[in-house]
């Protein structure tokens, strides 16, 4: 499915993006999280598209099939957030997650970022394997920078030195 394109976030995809994320969180993984628990989704330019941060969408035609965001947390560090891929577009045959992460890595290299941190739930086991294959190192919550925005569902944390 090489007809998936990665592009910077634009607001006309906001509702479809939110629905994709909520479907994965609530229906697929039964995580008790709502739209209201994620105010960043209501104002992506404010939360993500500042400093060394940004937000990208994976689009199959006009359908949102993936997302990833970076929050600038200072000190040449970013927090990777909202990396989601629609179930029908997961796996190496589609390479959507790989394309999203490659976009992030190109961005941070251009911006002079030294470290990427992320938090995730213990339910996203395939995501853990993906991050570890990409060189992310599992760390304790205590090793996160004080500016890292921990969500209440985050129980597993990673760092990538770039």
The pLDDT value given to residue 2: 63
CA separation, residue 72 to residues 47, 76, 90 (Å): 9, 8, 27
pTM (two decimals): 0.95
The 10s digit of each residue's pLDDT in 39-87 is 999 999 999 999 999 999 999 999 999 999 999 999 999 999 999 999 9
CATH number for the domain whose boundaries are 4-161: 3.40.630.30
The 10s digit of each residue's pLDDT in 8-39 is 999 999 999 999 999 999 999 999 999 999 99
Could you give the CA distance from residue 114 to residue 70 in angstroms, rounded to a whole number? Answer: 13
| Better pLDDT: 68 or 1 | 68
The pLDDT value given to residue 61: 95
Average pLDDT over residues 1-5: 79
Domain borders along the chain are 4-161
User: Is 117:147 a contact under the CB 8 Å cutoff?
Assistant: no
User: Is 87:120 a contact under the CB 8 Å cutoff?
Assistant: no
The region that residue 30 occupies, defined by phi over 0 for left and psi between -120 and 50 for alpha, beta otherwise, is left
């Amino acid at each position: 499915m090489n007809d998936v394109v990665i592009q910077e976030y634009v607001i006309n995809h906001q509702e479809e993006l939110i629905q994709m994320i909520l479907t994965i969180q609530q229906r697929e993984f039964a995580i008790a999280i709502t739209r209201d628990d994620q105010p960043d989704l209501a104002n992506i330019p404010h939360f993500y598209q500042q400093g060394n941060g940004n937000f990208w969408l994976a689009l199959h035609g006009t359908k949102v099939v993936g997302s990833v965001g970076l929050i600038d947390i200072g000190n040449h560090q970013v927090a990777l957030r909202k990396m989601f891929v629609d179930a029908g577009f997961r796996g190496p045959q589609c390479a959507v997650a790989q394309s999203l992460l490659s976009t992030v890595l190109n961005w941070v290299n251009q911006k002079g970022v030294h470290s990427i941190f992320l938090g995730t739930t213990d339910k996203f086991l395939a995501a853990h394997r993906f991050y570890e294959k990409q060189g992310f190192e599992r760390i304790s919550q205590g090793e996160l920078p004080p500016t890292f925005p921990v969500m209440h569902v985050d129980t597993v944390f990673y760092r990538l030195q770039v």
